[in-house]
Structure 1
Amino acid sequence: MNLRVRVVHYGQAHWYADIDDADDPQPDDPFWYVDRCRTQAQALDAACTELSALSKRARRGDHLHRVLEITGVAV
């Protein structure tokens, strides 16, 4: 599995970050996301922390659940 982090700035208001499979053509159902970060650094720090945890789980062979599987709502 090839995970990637994406960080996006939404106007002047906030930053968004998510983690998804790099081969997934649809960005609407990541494995993890955070929204309303005040700074790019805050969004990136949160994503890197979660990426480390997800990577460890993937190496163990755990199934990684997508947001839609857990919440029933696409991002």
Structure 2
Amino acid sequence: MNLRVRVVHCGCAGGRHWYADIDDAEDPQPDDPFWYVDGCASQAQALETACRQLSSLARKVYRGDRLVRVLD
């Protein structure tokens, strides 16, 4: 499995914030990630949070656990 972290700066009506998700690099649709966080105050916060979660997901894959997508 090839997971990737994506960090996006959002400037919408709710204010400016950072979003991060973790998804399969082979998945062409970013609408069903394995994990996401929204509303981070900085790019660094979003990236640090995503990297901690990526480490957690990697441990699950190493153990042989099945990863569940957010929408599953």
Do both proteins adopt the same fold according to a TM-score greater than 0.5, normalized to the shorter chain? Answer: yes
Partner of 1:10: 10
Q: Which runs of 5+ in 2 are unaligned?
A: none
Cα distance in structure 1, aligned partners of 2:39 and 2:55: 21
Q: Secondary structure at the match of 2:45?
A: helix
Question: What is the alpha-carbon distance in structure 2 between the residues aligned to residue 27 and residue 19 of structure 1?
Answer: 9
Which structure has greater strand proportion?
2
CA RMSD of aligned residues (A): 0.8
**Aligned length in residues:** 69
Aligned residue identity for 1:41: A
1:45 deviates by: 0.5
Asked if 1:24 corresponds to 2:27, the answer is yes
What is the Cα deviation at residue 31 of structure 1?
0.2
**Corresponding residue for residue 72 of structure 1:** none
Partner of 1:64: 67
- Structure 1 residues without counterparts, runs of 5 or longer: 70-75
Runs of 4+ in 1 over 6 A off after TM superposition: none
Secondary structure of the corresponding residue to residue 45 of structure 1 = helix
